[in-house]
Copies of this chain bind each other. A is one copy, B any other.
């Protein structure tokens, strides 16, 4: 069932160049030798995606939603081999991966439901006004798919942000064929899911070019995919360096295309005075839990905490420190990620601008130990590197003299996926400017919660100003993620026989039409 294949428009291929998957916990290879996709595979996958783009764009919401549901069913049908393969390749625990599988399947179902409703088409119809001077023509606007989309999955979500994750699901929902560049950190997991998607394509009798899967380790593979003129948009979740490299390639094309890169975020948390006074210990426990969840390998991990000096802050730090000290080391996703984390923590220990408050029990191999630091607002402002993402379970408490200094520290931050405020009724008045400042920095603003845990729903925004993403007007989670792969067109005085069904007067798909 895992053969190390490439899938080009439903057809299996193999290459002589191969790479291995690794179990990060043991450092040993797992699975077969995996084929590395070539430039020819990229070209062929893009060609068959482009060939069927028109047909797939014209598929009905019923056809596309049945297809997305079928993908979900086929992923479920993979059974425990999917979970075991992902556990071996990622070091993530069973419960986490079982939850991620539910999330992935539900996400496909959410898009299936959303496309049937038709709000995503954003239809506006301005009827002809022949008596007006000058006459107004008949104008009908709707959203249409951009064309073939390249998807780069994330190492930290082998299911929900990978081969059939949010980018793929939203692009397919929008009517765009998808070419996935498989992540080399979980090639067996990727192949299993890719086979499930291809099986659903066949079962739903869609054109085979709707989905291709190109595993590989080389940066050249991804670069060739983004540079291919048939690709019309890119979804990416990963590092800032990786995202910016793809943006640069996309901008240098003869036809530049949008790259939706979800990159880096430190997810500031503000603890307001009354909240600290009332609940410092509970906040400390909650914070440590969110920080160390999944070895801290979440893009919404709370990497910065801001609070004003007070006894409550010391109690918060004390509780958080003891919780972190008791946290066992956790296997990280790969040796590379572990090494970057270890180096980042060591650099912070030695930088002189932050003091270590606590660390988790020491770990062996690729096991990462949680780490908590503190600094002052003035040191924080003087050392911009303290505001950079340190991927893993490390966080920094910024002690502020007053709320003015706290606001200034927030003002210095780059764009974020999330920003959190903990407050009680007595804090609300003082919180107004803090909330306003956080709102300008983030895509999602939470009160009295923790940023890890991203609901997959209509109102979710998993995006934010640069460098959280490359396009703050978008989200990679939730129904709005589809909008990334759509563009509006207007049809003027088009005969009924040449109108797409959703903008016809008889509205055969029963979608919302805003008519004036």
A141 near B516: Cβ-Cβ < 8 Å: no
Q: Which residues of B contact A446 (CB under 8 A)?
A: 137, 492-494
Interface centre among A415, A487, A492, A514 (most CB of B within 10 A): A492
A460 near B428: Cβ-Cβ < 8 Å: no
A463 at the interface (CB under 8 A from B): yes
How far is it, in angstroms, between the C-alpha of A475 and the C-alpha of B139 when the chains are bound?
Answer: 14
B447 near A495: Cβ-Cβ < 8 Å: yes
Q: Which residues of B contact A480 (CB under 8 A)?
A: 124, 141, 488
Q: Which residues of B contact A483 (CB under 8 A)?
A: 473
Q: How far is the CB of A49 from chain B (nearest CB, A)?
A: 14
Q: Which of A162-170, A251-259, A389-397 contacts B (4 or more CB under 8 A)?
A: A251-259
Cβ proximity bits A450-467 to B, threshold 8 Å, 1 near / 0 not: 000101011111010111
B498 near A435: Cβ-Cβ < 8 Å: yes
B459 near A494: Cβ-Cβ < 8 Å: no
B447 near A494: Cβ-Cβ < 8 Å: yes
A400 at the interface (CB under 8 A from B): no
Q: How far is the CB of A457 from chain B (nearest CB, A)?
A: 5
Identity of the chain B residue whose Cβ is nearest the Cβ of A58 in the assembled complex:
B436
Q: How far is the CB of A280 from chain B (nearest CB, A)?
A: 20
A489 near B459: Cβ-Cβ < 8 Å: no
B126 near A455: Cβ-Cβ < 8 Å: yes
- Whether A459 touches B126, Cβ cut-off 8 Å, given contacts A146-B472, A472-B146, A473-B258, is yes
How far is it, in angstroms, between the C-alpha of A428 and the C-alpha of B494 when the chains are bound?
Answer: 11
Q: Which residues of A contact B (CB under 8 A)?
A: 54, 119, 124-126, 134, 136-137, 139-141, 144, 146-147, 247, 251, 255-256, 258, 414-415, 423, 425, 428, 431-432, 435-436, 439-440, 442-449, 453, 455, 457-461, 463, 465-467, 470-475, 478-480, 483, 486-495, 497-498, 514, 516
Q: List 12 A-B contacts (CB under 8 A).
A: A119-B514, A124-B480, A126-B455, A139-B457, A147-B440, A256-B466, A258-B471, A428-B497, A443-B488, A444-B490, A445-B494, A447-B495
